[in-house]
Amino acid sequence: MEYLAQLSDSDESLYGSGLHLKSSGRFPRVHLLLFFLLTGCKIAFPQLSGSSWKEVSLPFRPLAVAVSPSSLWVCGSSENIASSTDGVSWQTRNTGGTGSALLLGIDFRSERFGYAFGTAGTLVTTEDGGTTWVSKKVATENILAASLADPSHGLLRTASSVLLLNGDAPPKAIQILKSVPASFRDAPAVVALSAMNMMVELSEGPYSESGLLSTTDGGNTWSFYAPPSTGIADVLEDGGKYWVIGHEVVHKDQPGGGYAVPLAMSSSDGRTWQHTANDIHACHWQGCGNCNAQGCLASSSLIVNPFGVATTFASLPKGQLTTKWAGLSNVVCSVNGSLYCVLAGTPPDPLAQGEPAPKHQELPALGPKPTPTGILRCIFCSLEPVFVDDKKEGVFAVKVAFTVRSDGTPEGVVVSNAPSESLEGLIKAQLLAWLYEPPVKDGKPARVNTGGEIHIRVIRSK
């Protein structure tokens, strides 16, 4: 597929509700706080309900959401970070100003230690529960994913490599073992249990074979394990253990071959694994994935949490759930262009088939360091490989134009010559989700107008 292949001469070139969700396996369960006295910048909207998502009007573009023991946290453009105890009132906790980095992810590993990461090798940390944050450059590339066990130890994923953060020394790229198949060039997940125990998922690409590269000595030595007959959808940490979520093929030796069943297994060292005894049958229809410590997405409206003593389920109204979500008590928030929050409910039938869960935005395969070209350098600029329409079918050339703001986010998207009005809306929504390194011209933050022609493939719905 070709994206923005023909730019005008004036444009810069692009490249390429009884249910309570637990806050984390690391923390005790907390109840929803009804009142919280805020100082500084406060953002609020009407009380949440379980029937519809409510939009939070933040003073910045949100890009990721997570939880600490007692709060929801959201990060985004210009190194902005905000928190809330109830999903209703939000307080800005950090801001970097014009030209600062885009924060692409955020997480908390203890009551006091949290971190966020993003463009230009930026790592922002707190050691006082989010009251103050410290920003520093620890890498020469954008940090696309990260997992830190403490302020000085963890793994950072860039476009070209996986970096080991070990003390005060600059992060170093880990060396992939020769025993790892050469085709395993994707690294969709990194997980740090502790300063000693860390893991990297390696794969051939989405929906392909995967394996687990792990260390138990702080990165001095690594071992590789490819779980047999499995498809890995997600790898994460919960309760001081690694968890693998996906599916496995069983009874392959029986007449007619085997069949796939949901998989959830855990390990404390990456070498010895134990299958969960919890009920994960709800993952049968669509497969579970896009997990965090509060659970996994089983459909567009169902969260399955297999990490506790027993599996719990949460139902959500359709419309705003994406792979960037987090839950605190019975509040779930999701980033979908803006930040949306809702009260989770108890599903009447968690085993019923639901609509497919939202698709995860895949990281690029490991490769050479990107060569800077022009002002605009894209971080995430992908479209659906195939669009669906009830009347049109074929390959269509669509013209687009928009502005990239100084914080790296698009605005003012104009779509022309789309096959239908509905497809025009879908394309516009996806373009608005694109992200760029904050553009700089002549050493100063800049706004850049760009556009061109994209080619989309459309199939007709049945």
Residue with tokens 């694109």: 434
Per-residue pLDDT at 295 = 98
Query: Is residue 388 exposed (0-12), middle (13-18) or buried (19+ Cβ within 10 Å)?
Result: middle
Tokens representing residue 312 in the block: 């719990």
Bridge partner list, 153: 150, 166
Q: Which residues contact 65 (CB under 8 A, 6 or more apart)?
A: 72, 73, 74, 75, 106, 324, 325, 326, 333, 334, 335, 339
Q: Coil, strand or helix: which one is 234?
A: strand
Residue 222 φ then ψ, to 5°: -130, 150
Per-residue pLDDT at 37 = 28
Give CA angle at 321 (188, 18), nearest 5°: 115
Q: Which residues contact 329 (CB under 8 A, 6 or more apart)?
A: 20, 21, 23, 30, 31, 32
Nearest CA among 293, 269, 129, 307 for reference residue 193: 269
Question: Distance between CA atoms of 352 and 183, rounded to whole angstroms?
Answer: 37
Tens-binned pLDDT, residue by residue, of the chain (462 aa): 223 322 332 333 332 333 334 444 443 333 333 222 233 444 444 589 989 999 999 999 999 999 999 999 999 999 999 999 999 999 999 999 888 999 999 999 999 999 999 999 999 999 999 999 999 999 999 999 999 999 999 999 999 999 999 999 999 999 999 999 999 999 999 999 999 999 999 999 887 899 999 999 999 999 999 999 999 999 999 999 999 999 999 988 888 778 999 999 999 999 999 999 999 999 999 999 999 999 999 999 999 999 999 999 999 999 899 999 999 999 999 999 999 999 999 999 999 999 999 987 788 899 988 877 788 999 988 888 899 998 899 999 999 999 999 999 999 999 999 999 999 999 999 999 999 999 999 889 999 999 999 999 999 987
Question: Distance between CA atoms of 180 and 168, rounded to whole angstroms?
Answer: 29
Per-residue pLDDT at 46 = 53
Question: Distance between CA atoms of 266 and 361, rounded to whole angstroms?
Answer: 25
Per-residue pLDDT at 382 = 85
Residue 59 φ then ψ, to 5°: -85, 20
Bridge partner list, 26: none
What is the model's pTM? 0.87
Per-residue pLDDT at 394 = 95
Contact (Cβ atoms closer than 8 angstroms) between residue 104 and residue 120 = no
Contact (Cβ atoms closer than 8 angstroms) between residue 300 and residue 286 = no
Question: Distance between CA atoms of 56 and 76, rounded to whole angstroms?
Answer: 14
Q: How many CA atoms lie within 13 A of 442 on its CB side?
A: 3
Give CA angle at 304 (300, 310), nearest 5°: 165
Q: Which amino acid does the sequence have at 93? A: R
Contact (Cβ atoms closer than 8 angstroms) between residue 215 and residue 176 = no
Q: How many CA atoms lie within 13 A of 434 on its CB side?
A: 31
Q: Which amino acid does the sequence have at 174? A: I
Structural domains of the chain ordered from first start = 42-343 (2.130.10.10), 378-460 (3.30.1150.10)
DSSP letters, 409-441, are -EEEEEEES-SSHHHHHHHHHHHHT-EEPPPEE
Tokens representing residue 66 in the block: 């997570």
